[in-house]
Amino acid sequence: MKKYWTPLTLVCALLVLTSGSLLFLDINSKNIVLMHEWIGILMVIAVLGHAFLYKNSIIKHLSRKNNIVMMATILLLGIAMIQSDKEVEQSNNVSVALFDSIDNAPITLMSELTHQPINNLIDKIKLAGFTVDDPKQSIVQIAQLNHQQPEDIISVIYKK
């Protein structure tokens, strides 16, 4: 049985890595989400089996201070990112505030931030099929006007 745990762990890791990357890029079909979830559960089992077989090696790694610091940092970061949508809306989270300020920024400011002349930027947004009534409109306002999400407008702004 020992010879199967490492290949199983590697294959599961590659599939979870691939599906997770697709989800991160907002390519999230129902099948990709299901694959990510189910292969993720299989990966947990594979990792636990692998860890049980190679526990002496793991104990050796855990005895090194720099490994403990790295694992604790990643664990704390992961735990800090687990929040419900309601908690995120109610929090004073810096990253949430940053993204909100970008979404509510007028196109004139986005023009300056992206080093694109305002007329070129508006033309670029219009060429993508969006209506812009005023350069002082925010990304959220333009998205609402066009029945889209702010991310759709932002992706056009940053597209080369």
**Of 65 and 98, more confident:** 65
Asked whether the whole model's pTM tops 0.75, one would answer: no
Per DSSP, what are the bridge partners of residue 138?
A: 106
Cα 137-143-144 angle, rounded to 5 deg: 90
| Sequence-ordered list of residues with C-beta below 8 angstroms from that of 23, at least 6 positions apart, any chain | 32, 33, 36
pLDDT in tens, 33-48: 899 999 999 999 999 9
Mean per-residue pLDDT, 67-75: 83
Task: Look up tokens 């790694």; give the residue.
Answer: 61
User: In this structure, are residues 18 and 66 in contact, taking their beta carbons and an 8 Å threshold?
Assistant: no
